[in-house]
Structure 1
Amino acid sequence: MSTTTAAATSPAVGRFTPLRHSNFRLLVTGTATSALGNAITPIALAFAVLDLGGSAAQLGIVVAAYAAAEVVTALFGGVLGDRVKRQLMLEGSSAACVLTQGLVAVLVIGGWATVPLLAVIGAVNGCLGALAQPSSSAMTRATVPETLLGPAVALRSLLQTSAQVIGFAVGGVLVAAVGAGWAIAVDAATFAVAAYCFSRLTVPQTRAEGARGAILADLGEGLREVLRHRWLVLLLVQALLYHLFFGGAQSVLGPIVVGEDIGRSAWGFSMGAMMVGFVVGGLVCLRWRPRRALLAGTLLLSLTAAFPLAMAVHPTLVLVLAGAFVHGFGLQIFDVFWQLSIQENVPEDKLARVYSFDMVGSFVARPVGLLLTGPIATAVGLHAWLVVVAAVMGGSALLSTLLRDVRRLERKDA
């Protein structure tokens, strides 16, 4: 990987400089296109299940099948990402998703779909996504010079988030205009575009030198790399807590509390405000390059407490929208600086496995949170539990900054 020392301080290294590199353009085009399609499908799939006469419980089974498959295969995806060419992982996964999503679209359009069949195919899609995601996250470093890694991570995150925002909006329009099946067909088409982009990549082979032993041995090596960085261990725990507590607060309590206190439309507005916060946070990361980026990101992560707290205190629409925006803003900046810290400090041959441990922590915690939030919140009170959620999210982020490794870690291109 070539580097240009002068570029680290040169004004030529601008916000969009990474786009001058064809491999980076292909990577972000593929990932952003997939993100757009993946935002359409959950909306379309939900209505497809309901149109089949499925209940809320059956819809939950379809979604859970996808989530369970992700948990099972994420670590294996990390091992493969360090064993074989990552480009092949991305290209193969996207090509396979063209077939599986195309099959779902045909079944729904033709009237042959059933809820169990959609659950099975959803599980297959979950496996395909989890197998490729560690490789996708690890690929950024191979597409730009080292001096452009910071802007590249920020720009990729911004483009994917923006694509998701568009996908959420387009998904509802497509379902209303042409039906759930055709909306899922659009997702299949986005995977075809992504597969083409990934096939055009010309990046170095990124296989680990010694990654040919047993899978458990390779996973053990990846775990030892995680444990070698105390900041990485602590913030993986922080991510687990975030998904454990906020997953249920967002998906279970939010619609109930905001819907009853303000109105159902207010919940949709709050999700939109959070997405705007993501985009603004991404734009800030294109310009702001603090030397101690991980510390700055972790401090701003504490802002995520604003959303559940706003919902807890007998909310008004303005308060909830502000809390949602601040939540998205802080989370996006943390995520960019977190990704950059991993990219800069984890060896290339272990990068996919480290990302797989990051994914598993999130995948495992969120379903557990969804399962436990309802009973616990009912027992202690919905508003009271939202206060607890806010305290855990904000307090744990601030406590994380007390670790010396978090405070002292400096970005390489500062």
Structure 2
Amino acid sequence: MSVDDTTLPQQSATLPSPWRSTRFRLFFTARSASLLADGMLMVSLTTAVLGAGHGASGVGYALAAWMTPIVLLVLFGGVLADRFTPQLMMICADVARMLAMLTLATLLFSSDSVPLWQIMGLMALSGAATAMFQPGMASMVPRVAEDIQKANALLRISEALSTLLGPGLAGILVAYWQVSGSYIVIAAAYALSALVLLPLRKLHTERDEGDAPMWRRLATGWQEFRSRQWLWGVIAVWSVYGLFVFGPALPLGAALMIEQHGASGYGWIASADGAGTIIGGLIGMRVRPRRPLVAGALAMLCFALNPLAPALEWSFAATAIAHVIAGYGFAFWGVMWATSVQSHIPLTVLSRVSAYDVAGSIMVIPL
């Protein structure tokens, strides 16, 4: 592949806004609803497992039960999305997640000590459904919006808002209602996502290899992935980053910042990170670099401030500012990366290629 494969045409700035497309508005609503549910899930799960008396180790087992199917099945999710259309797989996944959350809500409502194996089984079902949902999400963007970069920027802003609002909403529901009520709201969010995706189920989709067997579809996806050095190179680097930076930085950074600035201070710093993510999305809507991967990589250098601030024991104000800048860099990189992938990979294999992106990004974090 030539260097030009990572270059975007400048005329993209003249494309109509994604908001003018009913298809994008439906997809944006579905994605926002599922992101809100995902944001609520971790707080609700932790509360449910601890409340049932299974301790911190039980929380770890439940999280592993959710994450493991995602890692193992996401490549097959990409194959199925390219075969049966991404919108159909996303609808089925949302329905499965809704049923899992409703079942868990029923169990928690009827008993104060739900067995851990039941929680783990339902979380495994939710994780398997998520593996079917994620690959098709990326391949939906070029199908519902002409301005791919602006669409990705809007989705990044939605992700930031959901990350900020989801845990807080779950905390309020758990505190003033009960944990089963939180799962009911999560199920309702997944149901809303499936409902607004229904009008998109007949969206035109190009056929891939027809009736080719699963193994051949997997092989085609692998060939498309490995033939683009810029693609697998970035994902390889991102996997190393997840193993040595992102994974350790989450618990260690949180512990250091709580020690240095208190629990409330840590909450405000996390909010500053979310604010930076929103800023990054807004800038991603306006700035259209000729070489988006280069621009995104330069912005990603700002993320070094995230672990640097607690390591050097910066003041609260300096740490908050550092997290705003780091959040911006992370979001801007995300917009540039998604736009590059969706602009240069054929739609017939985009879900499969995106599955490698998802797998490479998350498979090392549980370690």
Same fold (TM over 0.5): yes
List alignment gaps of at least 5 residues for structure 1.
369-414
**How many Å apart are 1:207 and its aligned residue?**
5.0
Q: Say whether 1:121 aligns with 2:122.
A: yes
Q: Provide the rounded CA distance (Å) in 1 between the counterparts of 2:202 and 2:140.
A: 9
Whole-Å separation in 1 of the counterparts to 2:212 and 2:23: 31
1:55 equivalent to 2:55? Answer yes
User: How far apart, in 2, do the equivalents of 1:178 and 1:250 lie?
Assistant: 33
1:214-265 deviation per Cα after TM superposition (whole angstroms, max 9, x unaligned): 3232222112111221111111012212211233333321122222233233
Matched with 2:73 is 73
Residue 363 of structure 1 deviates from its aligned partner by: 1.9
Equivalent residue for 1:385? Answer: none
CA–CA distance in 1 between the matches of 2:159 and 2:308?
28
Equivalence for 1:277: 276
Would you say 1:268 and 2:267 are equivalent positions? yes
Who is 2:89 aligned against?
A: 89
Taking a change above 3 Å as real, the CA distance of residues 353 and 6 of structure 1, as seen in their structure-2 partners, is closer
- The CA deviation string for residues 286-322 of structure 1, in whole angstroms up to 9 with x for no partner, is 1111121111001111111111011111232123222
Check whether the contact 2:108–2:180 (CA below 8 A) recurs between aligned residues. Answer: yes
User: Which stretch shifts more, 248-257 or 95-104?
Assistant: 248-257
Tell whether the 8 Å contact from 1:23 to 1:203 is kept in structure 2 after alignment: no
Offset at residue 202 of structure 1 (A): 5.6
- Does the CA contact (< 8 Å) of 1:84 and 1:206 recur in 2? no
CA distance 1:237–1:7, change in 2 (3 Å): closer
Conserved 8 A contact 2:49-2:116: yes
Deviations 1:301-359 (A, max 9, x none): 11111110111112321232222222211010000110000000001111000110011
Maintained 8 Å contact 1:84/1:207:
no
Secondary structure of 2:279's counterpart equals helix
Alignment of 1:101-116 (within 5 A): 101-111=101-111, 113-116=114-117
Q: Which residue pairs with 1:379 in the alignment?
A: none
2:6 match: none
Larger RCO, structure (CA 8 Å, separation 6 or more): 2
User: Relative to 1, partners in 2 of residues 1:195 and 1:270: Cα closer, same or farther, differing over 3 Å?
Assistant: same
Structure 2: state its 5+ residue gaps: 1-8
The CA distance in 1 between the partners of 2:321 and 2:248, in whole Å, is 17
Q: Return the alpha-carbon distance in structure 1 between the equivalents of residues 148 and 156 of structure 2.
A: 12
How far 1:203 moved relative to its partner? 5.1
Corresponding position: 1:156 with 2:155: yes
Q: Match of 2:333, SS?
A: helix
Tell me the secondary structure at the aligned position of residue 308 of structure 2: helix
CA change 1:222–1:319 in 2 (3 A) is same
Q: Distance in 2 between matches of 1:85 and 1:95?
A: 16
Separation in structure 2 between the aligned mates of residue 7 and residue 311 of structure 1, nearest angstrom = 43
What's the counterpart of residue 287 of structure 2?
Answer: 288
**1:217 aligns to 2:200 (yes or no):** no
Residues 4-403 of structure 1: pairs in structure 2 closer than 5 A: 8=12, 10=14, 13=15, 17-111=17-111, 113-145=114-146, 148-201=147-200, 204-206=203-205, 208-368=207-367
Amino acid at match of 1:25: R
Is the partner of 1:366 in helix, strand or coil? coil
Residue identity in the other structure for 2:321: A
Alpha-carbon distance in 1 for matches of 2:117, 2:180? 16
For residues 116 and 247 of structure 1, do their structure 2 counterparts lie closer, same or farther at Cα, with a shift above 3 Å needed? farther
3-state SS in 1 of match to 2:364:
helix
**TM-score, normalised on structure 2?**
0.93
Query: How far apart are residue 173 of structure 1 and its match?
Result: 1.3
Q: Which amino acid aligns with 1:120?
A: G
Are the counterparts in 2 of residues 249 and 308 from structure 1 also a CA contact under 8 Å?
no
Query: Does the 8 Å CA contact 1:83/1:207 hold for their aligned counterparts?
Result: no
Flag the 1:367–1:177 CA change in 2: closer, same or farther, 3 A.
same
Report how many aligned residue pairs link the two structures: 358
2:10–2:288 contact (8 Å) kept in structure 1: no
- In 2, distance between residues paired with 1:115 and 1:269? 33
Write the distance in 2 (CA, Å) between the matches of 1:123 and 1:265: 33
TM-score, normalisation: structure 1: 0.82
C-alpha contact 1:262 1:315 (8 A) present in aligned 2: no
Deviation for aligned residue 1:267? 2.2
Q: Please, which moves more after superposition, 21-30 or 262-271? A: 262-271
Residues 88 and 201 of structure 2 are in contact (CA less than 8 Å); yes or no, is this contact kept in structure 1?
A: no
CA contact (8 A) 1:82 1:211 kept: no
Residues 194 and 45 (structure 1), Cα distance of their counterparts in 2 relative to 1, 3 Å cut: same
Partner Cα separation in structure 1 for residue 106 and residue 208 of structure 2: 43
Aligned partners of 1:240, 1:350: CA distance in 2, in Å? Answer: 22
* Paired letter, 2:130: G
Change in 2 beyond 3 A, CA 1:98/1:9 = closer
Q: Is contact 2:242-2:364 (8 Å) kept?
A: yes
Q: Which moved more, 1:54-63 or 1:104-113?
A: 104-113
Contact 1:102 1:184 in 2 (8 A): yes
**One-letter identity of the residue aligned with 2:341:** I
